[in-house]
Amino acid sequence: MLILPASRTHDHDDHDDHGGLHRDLLATGRSIDRRAMLRASATLGVGMGALQLFGCGGNNVTGTDNNGTTATNSAGTCTRIPEETAGPYPGDGSNGANVLNQTGVVRSDIRSSFAGLSGTAPGIPLTVNLTIVSATSCAALSNYAVYLWHCDRAGLYSLYSSAVTNQNYLRGVQATDASGKLSFTTIFPGCYAGRWPHIHFEVFRSLAAATSVSNKIATSQIALPKTACDTAYATTEYAGSRGNLAGVSLATDNIFSDGSALELATVTGGVAAGFVATLTVAVAV
């Protein structure tokens, strides 16, 4: 089993309603890096494709996914999702703004603002399907919670960016079902200068634990494949993202440059019907 505990904090994301989640509930190692893995695989005569079998499914830039199934090694373990920085715009109370204590944050459709704020983020529809599993056994983790957030189509983060400080859209919490699965309805994020298109998330052991950032057990980011980004950014509404995407790659991005296999979602669909991103996430339990 590979444990990846260390966090990479060099992210270039720089750019109350009382009751909160408690009311909603009442109502309802990185000690071995991925370059080292590749060097070890070369020594052992194992290719990258074989290394991915020790991780979790749903990570394929070509779009030919394995339907998000969990791949295991001979010991029955999954590779833990790399720990990443939450960036400067988490909205989880770690640096000011906090949606985790707001009523209405538990929701599947995160396109609109909530808890007394109004406004909807425009953009191409995107469904994000995640499966949360144990990095030790690959067993599905039911009733775990995920807080997910990302920028809008203009590359702005609600609550932080000057044009959208009065919005809290594109943020929400969901609990996993008995199969460890959950789903968010959102929009395809834009690409801003210096970062590859991505989605942030934090994992908690339960909805009750998700009321405080101090309870999170994992923080990571989802990378979106270039083919899907090219398709989305070819539209007029995402025109501002084209030049930014051209100036960065997964290999040069400061988060994904040391390997993105475990964080790269499989994306299907298109502009007309919307996109669907799928990723299986293994966490330490």
Q: Write the secondary structure of 12-45 as one string of H (helix), E (strand) and C (coil).
A: CCCCCCCCHHHHHHHHCCCCCCHHHHHHHHHHHC
pLDDT of residue 67: 34
Task: Please tell me the total number of residues recorded for the chain in this structure.
Answer: 285
Q: How many CB atoms lie within 10 A of CB 208?
A: 14
CA separation for the pair 204, 283 (Å, rounded): 10
Give strand ranges (E) for the chain. Answer: 125-134, 145-149, 171-175, 181-187, 198-204, 218-223, 266-270, 274-283
Q: Are the C-beta atoms of residues 134 and 78 closer than 8 Å to each other? A: yes
pLDDT of residue 242: 98
pTM for the full model? 0.79
Residue with tokens 């929009």: 187
**Tens of pLDDT, residue by residue, the chain (285 residues):** 333 334 454 455 555 333 444 434 444 333 334 434 433 333 333 333 322 323 454 433 223 233 333 444 334 679 999 999 999 999 999 999 999 999 999 999 999 999 999 999 999 999 999 999 999 999 999 999 999 999 999 999 999 999 999 999 999 999 999 999 999 999 999 999 999 999 999 999 999 999 999 999 999 999 999 999 999 999 999 999 999 999 999 999 999 999 999 999 999 999 999 999 999 999 999
pLDDT of residue 250: 97
Q: Are the C-beta atoms of residues 53 and 28 closer than 8 Å to each other? A: no
Q: At what angle do helices 239-246 and 226-233 cross, to 10 degrees?
A: 140
Count CA atoms within 13 Å of residue 195 on its CB side: 24
- Cβ neighbors of 18 (< 8 A, separation 6 or more) are none
CA separation for the pair 99, 101 (Å, rounded): 5
